[in-house]
Structure 1
């Protein structure tokens, strides 16, 4: 710490107000603190006054901008005196408050005064009660935190959103309902569209900054939320984190989702993300910005997929979709001067330099031709022969028919009723034994039989429940695929959106020589339904490509 002269030393008047302190009325307001501290400094001849104000910051957190500035000025030797209204204004963490008031200020040669608590670190016996006062201030913060959490919990369980500020794209009306804000909602849709086109969060944030799209920070200020732009170094810029949050936020589906996160403790502002089973979801509470199918497609794309731009800044529509059929590794696109030579190679082959796997070389042009042909084939079957197409997929995956589902559901209900009945029977047997109407030996024999039957039924019920859940998911997936098919009347050329909407993975097999040419098998795995074979009346041996000049 630097030495200072008493004559030019700053008298620091520190004021703090948290959101919770505002509930106490005007007594703790920043205006009131400033008036009180200014008057105290004048009456006691403290000169060179400077206010340090933290408005809206918790006393349990010492990472406050004005407080940090005060500490820097003390370390630089500029401050001679620090005056606060009371100890709670300095903070509500008794360990840290004790350190600053009893150790730090003294070692820095700073005169510390808490006016209402009669604390003065230059008077030896004046602060005997101060540690207890600091503990009580922290207890107050802890108690307030418990009450606030209880109120938030009750609010969240009632179906109301627990976040004060709606996410980017929504605003509140006077009744607290969420309404779509069109400008930001349009940008949210662009973000999802760019993700489907193959761009990752970093590339999306760059494009948004190039477009000069309004950032979440600036937008909050624009729509009237209390937000300090000075907290952020470049508030006008989009960040990777902001894009990721938008891409993963199910609130854009039109649902209210509470308790996705929590704070570690009332002292910490660190946020912990909770598992999905702890969320409380209320569906269709406000207008959706993103539909369910688009959201699901984006979540699937973002599961461990890293997308890379080429040297010329282009993004392949197949990025992250091609896999080696033999070793399971991803296949990466190699760009060349002529686009006709752009090709995919197995990642294992590239890493091991030919020792781990073979190249599985295939040109980008060949992949485009195969995928376009197969998409036209599958969508044509689905549109022109919907009933037969659905029946074929059900047969392929052994999906249950409606009759099978009804029978399974009936069997599950019967098992549940019998298990409940056995509980009552066993209870009655026990009462008969206690009353003396049933011998111990007879009770053991009967109860054992019933318990064995109950155990078998419980196991059967578990199997039936799992089978029904699987069947319901498969039915939902098939219905979703048919919805996607009906979005597109006819596909004449590929686009990133089409490819990523329909295709989950593409497996590339090793090329083989055939009749003086080249033959290579490609397996296309579709979202929701998996691989789609030919229908009986139009079946071919395999989905492959013959090319005399090689792929």
Structure 2
């Protein structure tokens, strides 16, 4: 019997590092190599994901490993423990109980004493659940720790605001970046002299002052390497209106530490939401100011008194109105190089797995279509009754609140039933009550139904909100012969 070519998979997330676990990539590799030598296994390749959460399976090393498995290059996968494979118990369970079995791949998790060739792995599903619970608990603890550090006035962001840099002797403190601070002071001075953000932008370009991203690239920050002036000789001098506004409105330049501007909504997706200013955690006098409080407040008054200019001539008539038909997120306005304006779904770019298309539409085309519909509808205004019934039908006003509430409760129950069914399928499969083929087939049938039910619920809630807005307005202008 030939020695099986094996895969050694290692993963380390930032959360693991913060938790103080001694599971560095080097430690994992050393442990796995030692085991392979003892067992006489041939190592085909190493697959490493450094800095990736176990709740997310879209990892480059993991995906490369799956590709080699699909192509039949290996038949043995080894990890330090089950949590290195993943911390989402449903997804991890799928790989350990279904995927590896279908591909005839043996899976070993050393510290958990899991070996798919043995029959005594009944505890594995529970360990996967515990790993998921650990990730949730760790997320809460990390969030609480960050909040406390913010209350202590520590600098906790991934990068320092332009004009400052981390203190090399105390990474929790900001110190002045001499070169960049001159530009920040210049920006505030121009604002105090009456310049708006666009004029300041143009003044900085005229003086050939490189923008913050290019400055970070120049100082060796690899995250901004695409802004290197060797690759983009002219782009480095391109500031933008939004950057100027952010600098002018950031209290950090008065010497106050400003944290908790956003927070993670879901520990699995890592989706963030921007918080209102009232929820910011601000600690005064934590570092050297670049502008006095009096000058800062004067600039805020000037900003409020000045109408916000638009870089592009197109007015955003459809702001907050357009939503993606696939994922339900709002469509955002964007501009092509030829200055033509269009709308697109930004959720597609941020989470391509959740929204498969951009659903882009040109502003001009949308404007014409809406205008034509308005003109057609205007003709109906000659007949109040016909107009009322049309709006009533299109906006769902002809459906009673009780009917909508019943449908809402029905969809919520369906969502819960499908979630329970998916979990029950996983438990039954892990217990050996259903075959691999039946498990995969049932999961394939159930998951799309859950997504469909979710979209229906979102549409229903939007319809309900529309009723609250449209009905009073419509009744003010049209008097139907029969009220709703």
Q: What TM-score, normalized by structure 1, do the two folds share?
A: 0.45
Call closer, same or farther: CA 1:171–1:218 in 2, change over 3 Å: closer
Call closer, same or farther: CA 1:48–1:159 in 2, change over 3 Å: closer
Call closer, same or farther: CA 1:179–1:216 in 2, change over 3 Å: farther
Q: Aligned equivalents of 2:218 and 2:269: distance in 1? A: 24
Q: 1:32 aligns with which of 27, 36, 50?
A: 27
**Deviation of 1:221 (Å):** 7.1
The aligned counterpart of 1:215 is 213
The Cα offsets for residues 401-451 of structure 1, whole Å up to 9 and x where unpaired, read as: xxxxxxxxxxxxxxxxxxxxxxxxxxxxxxxxxxxxxxxxxxxxxxxxxxx
Q: Aligned equivalents of 1:105 and 1:307: distance in 2? A: 54
**Deviation of 1:269 (Å):** 1.9
- Structure 2 SS opposite 1:215: helix
The aligned counterpart of 2:178 is 182
| 1:296 and 2:294 are equivalent in the alignment | no
Q: Aligned equivalents of 2:155 and 2:94: distance in 1? A: 39
Call closer, same or farther: CA 1:305–1:67 in 2, change over 3 Å: farther
The aligned counterpart of 1:107 is 102
- Structure 1 SS opposite 2:108: strand
Q: Aligned equivalents of 2:175 and 2:150: distance in 1? A: 19
The aligned counterpart of 1:467 is none
The Cα offsets for residues 74-131 of structure 1, whole Å up to 9 and x where unpaired, read as: 44554433211100111211122112222233334433221221222344x2432111
The aligned counterpart of 1:88 is 83
Call closer, same or farther: CA 1:135–1:191 in 2, change over 3 Å: farther
The aligned counterpart of 2:263 is 262
**Deviation of 1:262 (Å):** 0.6
Q: What TM-score, normalized by structure 2, do the two folds share?
A: 0.51
The aligned counterpart of 1:401 is none
| 1:234 and 2:234 are equivalent in the alignment | no
Q: Does the aligned pair in 1 maintain the 2:8–2:78 contact within 8 Å?
A: yes
Call closer, same or farther: CA 1:117–1:235 in 2, change over 3 Å: farther
- Structure 2 SS opposite 1:286: coil
Q: Aligned equivalents of 2:52 and 2:153: distance in 1? A: 28
Q: 1:305 aligns with which of 309, 323, 330?
A: 309
The aligned counterpart of 1:167 is 161
Q: Does the aligned pair in 2 maintain the 1:196–1:297 contact within 8 Å?
A: no
Q: How many residues align?
A: 298
Matches within 5 A, 1:112-151: 112-123=107-118, 125-151=119-145
Q: Aligned equivalents of 1:240 and 1:69: distance in 2? A: 39
Q: Does the aligned pair in 2 maintain the 1:8–1:48 contact within 8 Å?
A: no
Q: Does the aligned pair in 1 maintain the 2:213–2:227 contact within 8 Å?
A: yes
The Cα offsets for residues 200-242 of structure 1, whole Å up to 9 and x where unpaired, read as: 99x88x969x86656279459737xxxx64xx78364779799
Call closer, same or farther: CA 1:60–1:196 in 2, change over 3 Å: farther
Larger Rg computed on CA atoms: 1
The aligned counterpart of 1:438 is none
Q: Aligned equivalents of 2:283 and 2:260: distance in 1? A: 12
- Structure 2 SS opposite 1:113: strand
Q: 1:68 aligns with which of 63, 68, 93?
A: 63
Q: Does the aligned pair in 1 maintain the 2:255–2:284 contact within 8 Å?
A: yes
Call closer, same or farther: CA 1:23–1:256 in 2, change over 3 Å: closer
The aligned counterpart of 1:313 is none
Q: Aligned equivalents of 2:186 and 2:73: distance in 1? A: 51
Task: Identify which range, 192-201 or 270-279, moves more after superposition.
Answer: 192-201
Call closer, same or farther: CA 1:76–1:218 in 2, change over 3 Å: farther
**Deviation of 1:64 (Å):** 3.0
The Cα offsets for residues 479-510 of structure 1, whole Å up to 9 and x where unpaired, read as: xxxxxxxxxxxxxxxxxxxxxxxxxxxxxxxx
Call closer, same or farther: CA 1:286–1:24 in 2, change over 3 Å: closer
Q: Aligned equivalents of 1:122 and 1:221: distance in 2? A: 53
The Cα offsets for residues 19-74 of structure 1, whole Å up to 9 and x where unpaired, read as: 34336667412211111111222333332432122223332233433223333444
- Structure 1 SS opposite 2:198: coil
Q: Does the aligned pair in 2 maintain the 1:97–1:134 contact within 8 Å?
A: yes
Q: Aligned equivalents of 1:151 and 1:271: distance in 2? A: 17
Q: Does the aligned pair in 1 maintain the 2:217–2:227 contact within 8 Å?
A: no
CA RMSD of aligned residues (A): 4.4
Q: Aligned equivalents of 2:44 and 2:199: distance in 1? A: 51
**Deviation of 1:246 (Å):** 4.7
Q: 1:52 aligns with which of 23, 47, 53?
A: 47
